[in-house]
Amino acid sequence: MKTRDMLGCVGWAAFFFLASTLIPFIGSFFGLLTPLPFLYYSAKLGLYQGVKLAAVATFTIYLIARLAGQPQVFLFCMEFSILGLALSEFFRKKLSLGQTIFLGTGFMLLLGLLVLFFIALSKNMGPLEMVLKYFQGQINASMNAYEGMGMPQEQAIEFKAFAKAFVETISKIYPSLLVIGTGFAVWLNVVIARPLFRMGKLEYPDFAPVDRWQAPDRMIWGVIVSGFALFLSSASIELLAINTLIVMAAIYFFHGLSIALFFLNKYHIPTWIRIGVYILIIAQQFLMAIVILAGLFDQWVDFRKIQKKSDS
């Protein structure tokens, strides 16, 4: 293990973590990229050297976090470092893009739940209770700031009612949001690793073209069963069905995006127009719903005629 590699891994990992805590708004985006250095150097040097680098980087970040008065950051760093090592192994096994993201998401969810459990245990709370308390604290801080700026009493009452409804909604759909957020983080690292591997002249998995990706056909049964479960009188089953449908909608949203990307590539649409299309899809709920429905009905309509080509 060269000193240059060690400094590179530790430096980039520390940068992403410090950026996530010090830079407002976009700092959380940098935090999601923390697995990248561990993925890159594990693929470059091998799993054994990657584990050694991860241990050194995690210990270094722990010392920095302890000096900054936030020792719990160490747990998140350990989680992301293990995810980077796991993704490098998935790359070596030459799994498909869907398998890589699915296994990476499941692996990170397990680690994340363990991290939440230990942090909540140190505060004598449950994981969900700790998360809801965090949201409530953020809302109370915003409320105090608005009141300090002279918010009228009527607006303050409306804001409190909105905050209460928001916390109640989060408490119901938090599992699905956790799954979607974790999957997005894994997908983001897998996608950004491609140009990074090319610059480092490392072998990147030969995934199928993204514009031809589609959700498994059998997944439609999850949508059907969850939809019927909403009409049952059991509150726990209804809660499970709602979270399942939200996760399914996110998967079919990416399926619909792959369809949109296929036609953008087919007609050679310029980059600046593509960016505008993506912004419109994300900003407009109506367009987002259309993309989800396109992914949902693609297995029957076959918009890209992929199934006909494979059959022929």
User: For 190-246, how does the pLDDT look when each residue is reduced to its tens digit (9 = 90+)?
Assistant: 999 999 999 989 999 988 888 888 888 889 999 999 988 888 777 888 889 999 999
Q: How far is it, in rounded angstroms, from Cα 39 to Cα 104?
A: 12
pLDDT over 70 at 309, yes or no: no
Supply the DSSP string of 98-111, one letter for each residue.
HHHHHHHHHHHHHH
Average pLDDT value for the chain: 84
Q: With cut-offs at 50, 70 and 90, classify the pLDDT of residue 290.
A: very high
**Using a CB cutoff of 8 Å and minimum separation of 24, what contacts does 87-91 make?**
87/35, 87/39, 87/186, 87/189, 87/190, 87/193, 88/38, 88/39, 88/42, 88/43, 88/47, 88/50, 89/42, 89/47, 91/39, 91/43, 91/193, 91/204, 91/205
pLDDT over 60 at 308, yes or no: no
Q: With cut-offs at 50, 70 and 90, classify the pLDDT of residue 14.
A: confident
| Cβ neighbours for 277, distance < 8 A, ≥ 6 positions apart | 260, 264, 269
What is the rounded (10 degree) CA torsion for 141, 144, 148, 149? 70
Supply the DSSP string of 37-98, one letter for each residue.
HHHHHHHHH-HHHHHHHHHHHHHHHHHHHHHTT-TTHHHHHHHHHHHHHHHHHHHHTT--HH
pLDDT over 50 at 20, yes or no: yes
What type of residue is 130?
A: M
Q: With cut-offs at 50, 70 and 90, classify the pLDDT of residue 312.
A: very low
- Per-residue confidence (pLDDT) for residue 24, from 0 to 100: 64
Q: How far is it, in rounded angstroms, from Cα 12 to Cα 33?
A: 10
Domain ranges of the chain: 1-207, 210-312
pLDDT digit string, tens, across residues 111-156: 888 877 877 777 777 777 777 777 777 677 766 776 677 667 777 7
- Per-residue confidence (pLDDT) for residue 72, from 0 to 100: 65
Q: With cut-offs at 50, 70 and 90, classify the pLDDT of residue 77.
A: confident
Q: How far is it, in rounded angstroms, from Cα 229 to Cα 227?
A: 5
Task: State mean pLDDT over 249-269.
Answer: 92
pLDDT digit string, tens, across residues 24-73: 667 678 888 889 999 999 999 888 888 888 888 888 887 877 776 666 66
Q: Are 256 and 234 in contact (CB under 8 A)?
A: no
